[in-house]
Amino acid sequence: MVGNIGFRRVPQIKSRHKGMIWGVYLTPVHRGKGIAKDLLAATLDRIKTYPGLLQVTLAVSAEQKSAWQLYHSVGFQEFGLELAALKIGDDYVDEHWMVLRLRN
């Protein structure tokens, strides 16, 4: 396995126009080679074909600056910051929330 991306479409009728990327993972040996961008682009190409899907959101740890840059480079825009969103051991980590509008 090189990596994968998790995607979930919101099932509720009032929110069905939204989806969420909930995980992007590459094995350590494959990181830093542009593979994540290709994988993300392929995922976005696929989900753009889903009828009625207008936007995709994701959250990225404030410590993952390269991931934030990747998402920004393909058009995601930050719309919020969730303080202490994750607890890792005894530490709390903030998350940036980002959105990509697929169509208007």
Q: Which two tokens stand for residue 13?
A: 């009728």
- Spatial contact of 55 and 19, defined as CB atoms under 8 Å apart: yes
Instruction: Name the fold adopted by 3-101.
Output: Aminopeptidase (3.40.630)
73/34 Cα distance (integer angstroms): 12
Statement: residue 104 has pLDDT above 90:
no
Span 8-49, pLDDT tens digits: 998 999 999 999 999 888 888 988 888 999 999 999 999 999
pLDDT tens column, 67-82:
999 999 999 999 999 9
Distance CA 42, CA 26 (A): 15
What is the C-alpha to C-alpha distance for residues 81 and 94, in angstroms, rounded to an integer? 7
End-to-end CA gap in the chain: 35
Domain layout of the chain by residue ranges = 3-101
**How far apart are the C-alpha atoms of 35 and 63, rounded to whole Å?**
20
- 68 CA to centre of own chain: 9
Distances (CA, A) of 68 to 11, 15, 45, 52: 27, 25, 19, 26
